Amino acid sequence: MIPDSKVPHAIAFSAPHKQAADIGLAVLREGGSAVDAMIAAAAAITVLYPHMNSLAGDGFWLIHKPGAAPRAIDACGCAAQLASIDWFHSKGFKQIPSRGALATVTMGGTLAGWQKARDIAAESSTQLPLSRLLAPAIQLARDGVVVTHSLAAASRKVQAELAEQAEYQRVFMPNGRPLVEGETLTNPDLATTLNTLATQGLDAAYRGELAAHIATQLEQLGSPLRLSDLQHYCAQEVKPLSVQTRFGECFNLPAPTQGVASLLILAIYDRLFKPEWDEAARVHGLIEATKLAFLVRDREVADPRRLSERWNVLLDDAHIDQLAAVITECALPWPQVAEPGDTVWMGCVDSSGTMVSFIQSIYWEFGSGVVVPGTGLVWNNRGVGFSLEAGHRNALAPGYKPFHTLNPAFALLNDGRRISYGTMGGEGQPQTQAALLSRYLYDGRALDDAISRGRWLLGRTWGDNNHDLKMEQDLVDLLGNNLRERGHALKAVPARSEIMGHAGAVVSLGDGNAIAASDPRSDGVGVVGNVVATMQERAQ
């Protein structure tokens, strides 16, 4: 059921930091679009959570207008034209460094993604000016943000690793020590950069004087990126992947993201699910579906130009049935090598019912650790996802994109509900998405309970290098004995541990109302409200 378009839809926003959620909701209250609100919040959260995302990171979007097909944006950066296997081998490297200038291999695409989203939104609605959308972030960067527990912990963790990064030390260790929870952090250079974008447009980061400054500074630091790389970059609208379940159709991003794995987990679980299962059986089914989905992902996902002939059938019924048939009451052997990732996910719905699922990242904590002098920008280190082994499915090549853990999710349900959902957490993203959605739909739990309830993580996530099956202690207490009897080797971690990611969701209920929730493992909230005045009313 699509609500009457003449009656404003309830507005809602979910973000892993309360101030970002409040900023997004404020834009929605003014009658701004879902894209407007997301850009305002996305800008703000680069200031609030600089260890997890940046204007020099990557982004992916899913946008859904009622009655239309979901639209997806790939705004991940590609490798510099100078970045080749031979280039790194000539410098004595057998793998791409994870920190420093040589880790700045790929473009930061998120700003181009913001512009692509604005272009899509402009097809059906009037957009608020960038000066309005970026003003809150500018003020936060200029006046300062309160350092959260998460930011302080990340600052301590990278202290030794980033000790040689002079600009990082100046901006993020202004007192010569790691940040302390509760103190104020300012980034006046980032405020200036945001103001430039507000007055000159988002394209300034790729083709204006700002772009020239960024390229010069990166080259002087030793990065392979050049101005021509920035000038030739653009975000792409891509066709989202989808899979049908008993509750409706689920959508995610195509390669080079792990969206296919997220959808495979849901599809396999849907094939297996029996209503009489107890919670242990349900968690077992999700874990086993995850293993099979990850094996497919690790074999298949790469730059879109390198996909095999099997790609187009991975989500077909026959392949899903084949995978589901492998699962038994006994746990399959593990581990496999996994991927980390530092990220923020946010979602919203505006007064027209348009929804957004959005994710933005710099990969590891503080990305490459390179802060571009004079800009306050933390550059991503997504290039470490490339291999320097010729013939590898993710071999480094100029202009190519590395494997991405990022994958915002969206669902169109048979009963008229629509769900924008996602999480940060590298390897944990598909697993947490599946836990959230299965608990909300298959188990009938309230949205906030589906997110907050104890979780598990197979493999590695941000801030962790182990490939085992981690499970929060409260869930171990409930299900541990049963799961061990099935062959799962569990490692208990504290309840509501941040390594399980920061999940969130916004649900349009189909009648014009909405609900939103955010993870208690983060500093965020899900907020719901009503529009004060639409853009059209303001114009009258």
Residues with catalytic roles: 343
3-state SS assignment for residue 503: strand
- Locate 305 and state its tokens: 């130009």
**Exposed, middle or buried, 487 (CB in 10 Å: 0-12/13-18/19+)?**
middle
CB 71 within 8 A of CB 116: no
Helix (H) or strand (E) holding 470: strand 469-472
**Region of 197 on the Ramachandran plot (φ > 0 left; ψ -120 to 50 alpha; else beta):** alpha
Question: What are the two backbone dihedrals, phi and then psi, of residue 104, each rounded to the nearest 5 degrees?
Answer: -85, 70
Helices and strands of the chain, counted as H and E runs = 18, 20
Q: Taking Cα atoms as reference points, which of 120, 84, 487, 82 lies closest to residue 280?
A: 487
| Whole-number Å distance between alpha carbons of 512 and 1 | 10
Peptide bond into 178 cis (omega under 30): no
- Locate 508 and state its tokens: 């349009």
**Exposed, middle or buried, 368 (CB in 10 Å: 0-12/13-18/19+)?**
buried
DSSP, res 79? B
| Whole-number Å distance between alpha carbons of 237 and 61 | 9
| Whole-number Å distance between alpha carbons of 283 and 277 | 10
Total residue count of the chain as it appears in this document: 540
- Locate 85 and state its tokens: 């296997």
